[in-house]
Amino acid sequence: MSPAGAAPGLSVRLGPLSLKNPVMTASGTSGYGLELLPYFDISRIGGIVTKSLSLRPREGNPPPRLAETPAGMLNSIGLQNIGVDAFIGEKLPVLRRHDVAVIASIFGETTEEFAKLAHALDAAEGISGVELNISCPNTARGGIEFGVDPEATSRVTRAVREATRLPVIVKLSPNVTDITLIARAAAEAGADILSLVNTFMGMGVDAGSGGMILSSGSGGLSGPAIRPMAVHLVHRVASTVKVPVIGIGGIMTGHDALEFILAGASAVQVGTATFTEPAASLRILGEIRQHCERRGAAAISELVGSLKRRGGPPPAAPAGG
Ligand code: DHB
């Protein structure tokens, strides 16, 4: 319980990664973070996760590569990015002027490419961690190829672990039969943190034209449509592994973020909400703070994994009456 009137502590510790608060932007939803500067002060949120970086620049898929769906969005960007060298040379020096944790999402077609990316970022000043995108559904090589196989997950995690001293986050795909097998493989191979979930595979058909909606056919589904499935998977993973978990999947409000936190996530990432409201992550942080105040929680960390089963003991009464 917090002393009456004291602001709740919002800082979180995820193994070796300390954040000033639990709200980050999700990879691929705000470029390299600088795109958010016209909208809000990025130093107020817990962290920025970059669009996935590859060794060389990638043009991505031809349009159409984004489509709205009921309560969500389908995308098949094809990992368009400027490449790790341009990120380090052009974007990172600007990001360094802002007091925000920068997590570099990395994508390789092979284990060696992942390791090279991690090594390059290790030497760059101003990176707080790397997030392995082993779950992109939109590439012929790499991506989800790793994330659906425990052995491949283990190999790539170990190679990155050996290539960097930075905190290693492994981002899991929901497109698997048993996510706990992949989570265990990543944790045992040296992942410091797991983030989940990446997008669910989906497809849209334009019945009028008789064609597929995305140029690539299928893509990744995100947004509120996936939230109950994401909360379920976060709960399963957080109940299985000891490493801290970051919850991702259709978070639009502070209440949504709390769902993940109570289910076991130590922090959250906000993605699709940013497309319609670039400052959504900051608003959601404010709503989390209000929630803690209402519950009389002295610190957000008290709430992590504090989910009660229906019929179990009632939650602690809010302070102050
Ligand atoms: C892309 C990458 C992802 O990891 C994802 O979930 C969806 C799309 C992409 O760049 O195509």
Calculate how far, in angstroms, residue 28's C-alpha sits from the geometric centre of ligand 1. 7
The pLDDT score that the predictor gives to residue 310 is 84
Give the residue whose CA is nearest to atom 10 of ligand 1. Answer: 79
Give the atom of ligand 1 at the shortest distance from the alpha carbon of 199.
Answer: 6
In tens, the pLDDT along 249-303 reads 999 999 999 999 999 999 999 999 999 999 999 999 999 999 999 999 999 999 9
What domains are there in the chain, each with its CATH number?
12-60+76-201+221-303 (3.20.20.70)
The pLDDT score that the predictor gives to residue 125 is 96
The pLDDT score that the predictor gives to residue 290 is 97
Q: Which of 75, 134, 170 to mutate to test the pocket of ligand 1 (most atoms within 8 A of CB)?
A: 75
Q: Residues 42, 245, 75, 155: what is their CA dihedral angle, to the nearest 10 degrees?
A: 120
Give the atom of ligand 1 at the shortest distance from the alpha carbon of 78.
Answer: 11
In tens, the pLDDT along 36-80 reads 999 999 999 999 999 999 999 999 999 999 999 999 999 999 999
Give Rg (Cα) of the chain.
19
Calculate how far, in angstroms, residue 52's C-alpha sits from the geometric centre of ligand 1. 8
Give the residue whose CA is nearest to atom 4 of ligand 1. Answer: 136
* Percent of the chain whose predicted confidence (pLDDT) is above 90: 90
Calculate how far, in angstroms, residue 43's C-alpha sits from the geometric centre of ligand 1. 26
Catalytic positions: 136
Specify the 3-state DSSP secondary structure of 121: helix
Q: What is the pTM of this model?
A: 0.95
Give the atom of ligand 1 at the shortest distance from the alpha carbon of 198.
Answer: 6
Segments in 129-178 forming alpha helices (H):
144-147, 150-163
